[in-house]
A and B are shown apart, each in its own frame.
Chain A
């Protein structure tokens, strides 16, 4: 099968995205996040005063990633046959294809083998490839991340899974000093082709320690690349590209996106690691986002379109390095930028992106860059409070209206 490298254009907004069923909201158990259709769509009236009321009433819908705005879906999936699957299955497909292709690829992490992966990304792989290639590690992030990096120094290509991104904080020394820096400090002698992946982000009332966004902590480590997937299509493509890359790549997945359904091509494809994805072209304002916030943005975009705005939505995908080419072209067109992210306000990806845009495209901006991010608080357990820590579509609509005045 010939591999095709897809640029980001138009690939993401497939129409057949399924949503979570609010009625089936159960206490989050790792292996069965519900995935079903929701018929209710929430149109949020603009402005903040009745937002809280509507939020508390339609609490469950607000947490849901709803269907994206119907746009030109020019994926090959719609032209060819393609097959429909969920995001975690797309990740698994990508991983399996790469493991078939290259015997140096192995997976290590907690419960990735016999258990099948806490989010089922590695389901079935242990049976197919054996214990030496799909390794169940004990609970010692520092050690098994270090081991993966040591193995990579000799030429293996481990995919290291953090059961939750937050646990990788325990391996920070290995990721920062060894993973990121060994290529440089050895004068180019060693390459570290690891992929470090795992789910992060605010889930459904998982508590402060299990709702972390680690992009902000890792972003200044020199020598690594960071990507965030958001659809089954780019999940599989980025997984494959990350495994094939000679650089260490951190692939950020999101706990709430694993059950998104989409049709992806049958043929082999990979996505460019450094490229952003144009979700919805527009004229009035550039909205930059990634991961789960893409869906909140698209939801807000529906409202905005009804109000007569034409937002351009770009899923930046590549968190390090930023795809300033795509972003720059967009800024030059629209002259207004809104960044919507799930990272913390202080020192997050949005903060860096704001700085980068201001530095590079200051002359093209008609308004200051606005950044909507999560609040600088530990994520509370209570559902209503948790909602308020994360950016909601209503706030996005308000921000766009403000910027476009």
Chain B
């Protein structure tokens, strides 16, 4: 549609020309109707197309004529000449309008019939001519792909052509794009010369640097660089980067038949964990990218408690794509037949990596596995448990945690699955990233936001690739990245929120990446406020200006988390914290209940503080945009109670609240300081949360 009206370059006598054209057009339609395919008729048709290549009827007429012509003639010369005519007319037409859909298609049609050997030289010459006139003509690029396929030109050759075009004009994004498409394909096929991703990408980096540093404000090179970076950090297979329980850990379970809440708060012993009300405990798998098809056929759990086939794995994400970074299953522990003196080994083995990736992968990785043991502690929690229900949790603390005391809390025994075979593969990626980092650092003296942003992305990518467990040897770059984002916010305030989000992720990663920094954020609850939380430790990540949640891979075991006094607008990511019992999100910028939807899968959550947020402050709920795919953002209708909502108009007005609260089993909710709060709402909350005991510090049941 676009680019149709094209001025004739040599205006003649307009009226005469128009009359001539009308005449030609009339002749064409007449001949077409009468199926006249004489030489004269075809000549008149050619004249018409020469002036106006867009007359698609004329092209179709020519197709019919050619077909009939070929039926009549024999001998290669006649065929050749007929085809020659068609090709010539297309060329003339393209001279008039190089963007004529109909003309390009006619040529494809003629050549595609392969009536005679295609003179490829000529096709490429034509293409060179046209792509020289307009390097971005997508008809030309499409036609080039067509011809290359017709001739079976190796993709390597086409790659050289893109290089040639880039050398002529490095701003030519069409050439860069075609290059990325060709390379993706070649790398996937592992064609000769492209079997090593290393060598290929290294050369590409060199190529793009020329463009980037010649003019830092040119868009094309940066796009290509991003694509390269993506190829560099994107491993062919997903990796299990964290789990709960962790490898070689000893899990001590307190068995209890008590229902609900009371036993869920963590005991002082780190590795111990109280059984959920259903007599189950979770196994959480955390991958570096979203995977699918986690089920008993791809993951084998060997234990005495349950047969593997009975396990039901669930993706933890707010959309229904069936893909998630984080997956959970619940292991049911039989009521009686476990002795408290034995430790039962559990082995989790991912044996079919091939089936859990979305893209097709040729590399099959060795299986990764981890093991842990389970021991039961029969003496359970005593009297305190009962009281904790009645206790209103107040988020106040006496002191930072004593490092000695906390040491047992933290288990950084990361999965050691990758160290043997994967590290070798990482070496190149890391080296490449380091080279890029060095290069961009050198250019960071200027106030170029592109350089700064790219450098920040490179550093983050680098830190992510550093093999687990070796974080002590290789210094992380979080500090530098944080500074870069600070600079970017000043330099480019119109993207401030984006930079804030990116910074939050880095900051959170920095704080949780090692024991020392994490310990500083451990606080002991203030004893007098809550006897049941004696010796309870809470992870406090507050007053950090976090705007969103970063990676939680290192804090999967957290049961009490205080994120108050940040700037959180989204809590996506928290859905992975399956052990979380107490959560404070007070004094943040959460603007709706929709934003809290990631909390829905948290079956152990009992205490939630969302006081002093902005829920209800804005009529417009922008949170819907925050989910990864708004349209797959869905409500599980099965969780909803039939008949209930009909009688209650309040629910109708607050259906989002209902859908959230229905999924939660809260005993305590703090929601004061939000616009949405009024008496009606309180009543609704109490009604929707049957287990609720405390609302805004007041006993309700």
Same complex? no
